Chain A
Amino acid sequence: MSAAATSVLLAVVVAVVKGVLIIFVLMTAFAYLTLAERKVSARIQLRYGPNRVGPFGFLQPLADGVKLFTKEVTAPEGRDRFLYLLAPALAACAAMLAFSVIPINQTICIGGTHGAGPLSASCPGGYPLHWDLAHLNIGLLFILAITSLGVYSIFLGGWASNSKYPLLGALRSSAQLISYEMAVSFALLGPVLLAGSLNLETVVNQQHSLWFVFLQPMGFLLYFTGALAETNRLPFDLPEAEAELVAGYHTEYTGMHFGLFFMAEYINMVTVCSIATVMFLGGWMAPFFFLPTWLGPIWFVGKVVLLLLLMMWVRWTFPRLRYDRLMQFGWKVLLPLGLANLMLTSVFVALH
């Protein structure tokens, strides 16, 4: 076997292993995020939360999964059969795909000499083990593209259901996601300018002395607010505002079809929090200089979990914005602020 063939085979094997790992980890994260959400909300609301299935309710996600899988699937008459099935699948796929470019640790050089400097991603002569599935040079662009794809699933789901509440929910959602996509993109451009690269690993490496959250506090706040809207979380959960639209775009979904939407929501949470960690919170960097740096993935996961907890806290505290106010907020507050932030950053970068 030629060297070229070997390296191709190796790349394929590594990619498959990484892919399976990512799916496994994300599924588990989804399962236990639902449990965490219920536990956190219970603590906030003076309740106990699930504590019957397994010790401390740890097997609750399993029970939920069994329930969702064994539920009878009822679907509305007159639905668009193909799109009705496609929508939840698309939602879950888009949510997981976005994670493929997120580096959770720095590249490890196997058998070669590490590139210049401890934080370099290059590895001449050896095999560079990237800690993301696709080591793209345009990682951020890829993420923005894929998360936009999620809108289709919501919109198609609402449209294909042939029902009024889902349609209203889907209409709201597409408008909301498109407007917040803008603000989020502008917020993410700040770190990109500072790092001078769209590759997420490079962005993290550039934060080795100072996390971008300290240089871009406004950008971080904008991103986090926009991310709440992007993941349809309170106070921006308009598409599925349950008090108004019953369950929004997934009103007519049952069983695991609904489960896929649900999964997409939680995996999206993980994704946006990971992006925030990578872009603003220094990715796998240790939070304090005296902590060991080789625990990269641990620091990464810790930061993501903190952000997730913050999202839950927000959800169980605030009332919901009204749809028109939400759009106003997106276009008249977040977007101008994002633009201003971007301009200031550009000037700053140009002067340096």
Chain B
Amino acid sequence: MARRPPIRGSGTPVREIPHQEGVPHLHPGGSGEFLDRIDSGEELLEINMGPQHPSTHGVLRLVLSLDGERVVACRPDIGYLHTGFEKSFESHTYQQCIPLTDRMDYLAPPINNLGFALTVEKLLGIEIPPRGQYIRVIVAELSRIASHLVWLGTHAMDLGATTMFMYCWRERDRILDIMEWISGVRMMTSFIRVGGLLADVPAEFVPMVKAFTADFPSKVDEYEGLLTNNPIWRQRTVGLGKMDAAMALGFGCSGATLRGSGVPYDVRKANPYSSYDHFDFEVPVGVNGDVFDRYLVRVREMREACRIIDQAVAGLPGGPVNTSDRKVVLPPRAEIDNSMESLIHHFKISTEGFRPPPGACYSAVESARGELGFLLVSDGGNRPYRCKVRGPSFSNLSALSQMVKGELVADVVAVVGSIDIILGDVDR
């Protein structure tokens, strides 16, 4: 019998917000202006950019209305990668949900694991030991770098700089090697689990990470040497896809898309989790809110992530990585031989999982794309009653149609690249 939490209160009726004169309606078509142009009988060229298109980063479909090469309206059409993860969560035990989270934002899976694990831990009221937290930070920051590298490579490739793609892949591969070493999997690691980690890291982990961070800043210099001061790159990005802070906040943007517009909001600073407050790092912000600023912010973030990793590796504490709560995490193998209780715990966790107390909680992490939040409702059972994911890509994408209005077709590609969406994160 599934237990459902009682529904309290009568709910708030959805009110029709009256349309005010002079205030543009923000609807998927861009603005009312677009409809006026259709009504006036002006002929526009409608083209489908995607879902099969080389640079819409997956299966995003953009319906563009063009006047010559100028974009009059852009309507993103999403749902081509809808996977029903949120619904699937309801039929999996909490620990089984971890592999599902891997596949949402598939460029930085550990951060998704982390977001989900932290939310469940909040429900459970547990905190994991410092070593586990530090390793979580290292893994999350490594995957942030990996994700930003994919972004940089594809963004540059969209603008014609094909070679950047392979350069970025070179460094990303080293990160994936590290991931493989610690979890056996290169991408969908499921390394961060509820109550801790898959396992403690092997001895080679620290030297591997150290070698990477020692090398990486010079590689970023290399990327910047190819792009930042390249006049063609600047022409293609400066002053393009502008978004001011108010607009970015209005659309609920987060991550580098928001920070590019000058809002220094970073969940790692605003609401530190997993001992991010132990580390000294900066939150780079842009000034103009254009494609170039978002580029600079992300490139800078890679350097900052590198600094965080350095600090975390240097101060990596000893001790266990998993919580000692035997109701959540499997007991060590040796303990099972000696303790009946451990055997029971092992059996219970393996067969049923654990049961957080009834309630709801929201917690967010700073993913490579922005604020990744999980809202979990527990009815006291071993599965989430409801899970709502706040995917940063979804909100960031919603600002796209405003950003590209009046730009050229070629710039749509640049702007789409600059908001760094992952369709798995948009559709979920």
Contact = CB atoms under 8 A, between A and B. Distances in A.
Nearest to A47: B166
Give 8 nearest A-B pairs by CB, closest first. Answer: A320-B160, A45-B166, A319-B161, A243-B55, A243-B158, A319-B160, A319-B159, A164-B47
A46 B160 contact: no
A241 B232 contact: no
Interface string A207-249: 0000000000000000000000000001101000111111000
B163 A316 contact: yes
Nearest to A165: B47
B156 interface: yes
A173 to B, nearest CB: 13
A242 B52 CA distance: 12
Interface in B391-428: 408-413
Nearest to B55: A243
B227 A168 contact: no
A115 B233 CA distance: 55
B170 interface: yes
Contacts of B227: 319
A320 B156 CA distance: 9
Nearest to B235: A325
B408 A316 contact: no
Interface string B145-169: 0000000000011111111011100
A21 interface: no
B421 to A, nearest CB: 16
B162 A316 contact: yes
A319 B69 CA distance: 20
Contacts of B53: 246
Nearest to A163: B47
A332 interface: no
Interface in B321-358: none
B211 interface: no
A45 B230 CA distance: 19
A318 B47 contact: no
Contacts of B409: 168, 244-245
Interface in B17-75: 45, 47, 53-55, 69
Name the interface size band of chain A: 20 to 34
A323 B71 CA distance: 14
A243 B233 contact: no
Given A165-B47, A318-B160, A318-B230, A242 B54 contact: yes
B54 A320 contact: no
Contact of B160 (A235, A245, A246): A235
15 contacts: A41-B163, A44-B163, A46-B166, A164-B47, A172-B69, A235-B232, A243-B55, A243-B158, A317-B161, A319-B230, A320-B159, A321-B232, A322-B235, A324-B69, A325-B235
Interface string A286-318: 000000000000000000000000000000111
Contacts of A168: 47, 69, 409
Nearest to A324: B408
Contacts of B161: 317-320
A225 to B, nearest CB: 13
Given A243-B160, A243-B413, A319 B236 contact: yes
B54 A323 contact: no
A320 B166 CA distance: 17
Interface in B57-106: 69
B156 to A, nearest CB: 7
Contact of A46 (B162, B170, B413): B170
Given A318-B230, A319-B227, A243 B163 contact: no
B233 A319 contact: yes
B45 A243 contact: no
Contacts of A325: 235
A246 B157 CA distance: 13
B406 to A, nearest CB: 13
Contacts of B226: 317
Contacts of A246: 53-54
A58 to B, nearest CB: 23
Contact of A45 (B54, B163, B411): B163
Contacts of A164: 45, 47
Given A243-B54, A246-B54, A323 B232 contact: no
Given A246-B54, A318-B232, A324-B408, A45 B162 contact: yes
Interface string A14-55: 000000000000000000000000000100111100000000
A319 B166 CA distance: 14
A321 to B, nearest CB: 6
A325 B237 CA distance: 12
A43 to B, nearest CB: 11
Given A319-B236, A321-B235, A325-B235, A243 B159 contact: yes
A219 B203 CA distance: 62
Given A46-B166, A322-B408, 8 more contacts: A46-B167, A164-B45, A168-B69, A243-B413, A245-B409, A319-B160, A319-B236, A321-B235
Contacts of A317: 161, 163, 226
Nearest to A245: B409
